Amino acid sequence: MSESIEAAKKKVSELIESQVFPFIKKKTSEIRTSLETKVGPAMISIANNDEICLIAFEKMYEILPTPVRLIIKHDIFTSYCLANRVKVLSLIGVNAE
């Protein structure tokens, strides 16, 4: 059973990285503007704060195209992003290290 869970997690990661990351890169300006409006100056220390990261990832999710949101549910997307925050935040030019 744990093998099937690991396989599913790997499939979700591959899907997010191959389909969602290019979209996020394409929409970097829009995402940064949305995040700066919602989060404000806290963007500077975003990577060290789970609550702020969650807000940022929720805003990213809202911007995703509807077909993507139908395939990748909100909680799966935000969980993935929190676990891989350095990689995800670097897509929008936020230094997360």
pLDDT higher than 90, residue 97: no
| Three-class HEC string of the chain | CHHHHHHHHHHHHHHHHHHHHHHHHHCHHHHHHHHHHHHHHHHHHHHHCHHHHHHHHHHHHHHCCHHHHHHCCHHHHHHHHHHCHHHHHHHCCCCCC
What confidence tens digit (pLDDT) does each residue in 9-64 have?
A: 788 888 888 888 888 888 888 877 777 776 666 565 677 788 888 888 898 898 88
Average pLDDT over residues 71-76: 90
Please state the pTM of the whole predicted model: 0.74
At 43 the pLDDT is 60
Position 50 scores a pLDDT of 85
CB 91 within 8 A of CB 25: yes
Structure tokens at 51: 């609550």
What is the predicted pLDDT for the residue at 40? Answer: 65
Q: Does 96 score more than 90 pLDDT?
A: no
Q: Residue 79's pLDDT band (boundaries 50, 70, 90)?
A: very high
Residues near 64 by beta carbon (within 8 Å), at least 6 away in sequence: 20, 23, 72, 77
